[in-house]
C-alpha cells in the first residue's frame, strides 16, 4: 500500500494483490525468467537488459518465444482438454481482473463466483453427453 509504514499490518485481502503487483513487474519477471528459463508474463520484460543478456546467452529461448507468438489460437493450443476449459479459463481471468478493479471484496470472492459459473456450465456440458 502506498504510504505503508514498516511494521504496520497489511490487511489480509490485500496481500495477494500486493504480491501479484510485485511479481508482475517487468524487472521481476525478467529476473525470474532469466534464472528459471520460464517465460515472463510481461512482454515489457523482453526489452530489459537482463532479459536481453539471457537471450544472448541462451538463443534457443528466443526460438521458443517466437514459436509461441506465431502459434494461432485453437482448441489444440488452449490448454487442458475438457469441454468447458476455454470458457472456464476466461471466467478465471475475468474474476482476477474484476478483483483488481475493485469489483470483488477479495480474491476468494472473485474466484468463488468464477467457480460457481464454471461449475454450472460444466454440469450442462456433462448432462449433454449422457
Decide: residue 118, CB within 10 A, 0-12 exposed, 13-18 middle, 19+ buried: buried
User: How many degrees, rounded to 5, is the angle at CA 24 between CA 19 and CA 28?
Assistant: 95
What is the pLDDT, as a whole number, of residue 7? 64
Segments making up each domain of the chain, as ranges = 13-72, 79-130
DSSP H helices, the chain, are 14-23, 26-36, 49-57, 59-70, 85-100, 107-128
**Mean pLDDT value of segment 97-113:** 92
Q: What is the mean pLDDT of the chain?
A: 88
Q: Rounded to two decimals, what is the model's pTM?
A: 0.56
- Does the pLDDT value for residue 56 go beyond 90? yes
Amino acid at each position: 500500500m502506498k504510504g505503508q509504514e514498516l511494521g504496520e499490518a497489511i490487511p489480509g485481502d490485500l496481500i495477494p494483490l500486493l504480491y501479484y503487483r510485485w511479481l508482475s513487474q517487468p524487472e521481476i519477471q525478467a529476473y525470474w525468467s532469466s534464472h528459471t528459463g520460464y517465460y515472463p508474463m510481461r512482454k515489457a520484460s523482453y526489452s530489459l537488459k537482463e532479459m536481453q543478456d539471457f537471450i544472448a546467452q541462451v538463443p534457443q529461448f528466443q526460438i521458443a518465444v517466437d514459436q509461441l507468438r506465431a502459434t494461432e489460437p485453437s482448441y489444440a493450443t488452449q490448454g487442458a482438454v475438457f469441454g468447458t476449459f476455454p470458457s472456464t479459463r476466461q471466467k478465471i481471468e475475468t474474476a482476477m481482473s474484476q478483483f483488481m478493479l475493485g469489483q470483488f471484496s477479495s480474491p476468494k470472492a472473485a474466484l468463488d463466483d468464477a467457480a460457481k459459473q464454471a461449475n454450472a456450465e460444466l454440469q450442462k456440458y456433462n448432462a449433454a453427453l449422457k
